[in-house]
Amino acid sequence: MISLEYYGHSNFRLTKNDISLLFDPFFTGNPVNTANPEEIDCKYILVSHAHGDHIGDAISIAKRTGATIISSFEIAVMAGEEGCKSHGMHIGGKHSFEFGSVRLTTALHGSGISGGHACGFVVNFFGINIYFAGDTGLFGDMELIGRMDKLDYALLPIGDNYTMGPNEAAQAAGLLKPKAVIPMHYNTWPLIDQSPEEFKKNVEGEFGTPVHILTPGETLRLA
Ligand code: NI
Ligand code: MN
């Protein structure tokens, strides 16, 4: 069984058996989080960029659990200096891990760290392809991302203001052509309040792609 747990904002945990992978582990200070970061177990932590609502508790969780932080070179070096295990990559590159592989993708956003770039990830996790867009605006090369790896799930920000809003994210779904979409990065603060139900209706109506709305604390079974 492969499961995807949602902790609100862009914070997810992907698990199969004893291998868990966290995306952008923003627990402390996340107003919609329901979990205790001191009880979160994982082997890998993927960090899309160094803004506080994404790098979040990555360093402290990595120190406590011995998890490896997978991120851009700049963040990996910083995590290494903090005493964490880390694996640096960069946009366009792919690497194999025990669970499958990770490809770093473009994200149109600030890096939050000197000299860096924000990124997204295409993760092959025991045969399931998941695109985690990170924080990004809409870009046409999303079509290429969907062509390189047939996507089972696309995790897309819909909050607007800092990232794509619901209309842009719907067009992203059209370019990526995933089997299903999961919205993220919304309803954490009033500034990014959105209606995921309306987003779901639009994506399903225009592209026929199912949208799974997760509430913080909810777990979706992927396989
Ligand atoms: Ni950001
Ligand atoms: Mn953000």
In this model, does residue 219 exceed pLDDT 90?
Answer: yes
The protein residues having their C-beta less than 5 angstroms from ligand 2 (an ion) are: 53, 135
Q: For residue 110, which ligand has an atom nearest its CA?
A: 1
Question: Does some domain include residue 219?
Answer: no
Question: Which residues are 85's β-sheet partners?
Answer: 68
Q: Is the pLDDT of residue 206 over 90?
A: yes
Does residue 28 lie within any of the structural domains?
yes
d(CA 76, CA 62): 12
| 201 in any annotated domain | yes
Taking alpha carbons only, the member of 154, 7, 16, 177 closest to residue 97 is: 16
| Both tokens assigned to 203 | 């994506």
Q: Structural domain tally of the chain?
A: 1
pLDDT tens-digit series, residues 79-120? 999 999 999 999 999 999 999 999 999 999 999 999 999 999
**Ligand closest to CA 160:** 2
Degrees to nearest 5, angle at CA 213 with 186 and 135: 35
Among residues of the chain, what percentage have pLDDT more than 90?
100
Instruction: Of 23, 90, 110, give the one whose Cα is nearest residue 61.
Output: 23
Sequence-distant (6+) residues with CB within 8 A of 96 are none
Is 161 contained in some domain? yes
pLDDT for res 97: 98
In this predicted model, what pLDDT tens digit does every residue of 118-140 receive, in sequence order?
999 999 999 999 999 999 999 99
Indicate the burial class of 191 (C-beta count within 10 angstroms; 0-12, 13-18, 19 or more). exposed
- Enter the DSSP assignment of 211: B
Let me know if residue 215 belongs to a domain.
Answer: no
Question: What pTM did the predictor assign?
Answer: 0.98
Please report the beta strands in the chain, taking only residues with DSSP state E, as ranges in sequence order: 2-6, 12-16, 19-23, 44-46, 68-72, 85-89, 94-97, 100-106, 119-125, 128-132, 153-157, 180-184, 219-221
| 95 falls within a domain | yes
| Tokens (6 digits) for 204 | 């399903």
Cα dihedral 170/175/176/180 (nearest 10): 40
Ligand 2 centroid to 49 CA: how many Å? Answer: 9
Task: Give the per-residue pLDDT at 23.
Answer: 98
Dist. CA 22 → ligand 2 center (Å)? 16
Q: Give the chain's mean pLDDT.
A: 98
The pLDDT, as a whole number, for residue 33 is: 95
Residue 216 lies in a domain: no
Instruction: State yes or no: pLDDT of 50 exceeds 90.
Output: yes
The pLDDT, as a whole number, for residue 34 is 87
211: in domain = no
Domain with residue 193: its CATH number is 3.60.15.10
* Confidence check: pLDDT of 167 > 90: yes
Residues spanned by the domain of 180: 2-206
Distance 48 CA to ligand 1 centre (A): 9
Nearby residues of 194 by Cβ (< 8 Å), 6 or more positions away: 158, 159, 160, 165, 166, 183, 186, 187
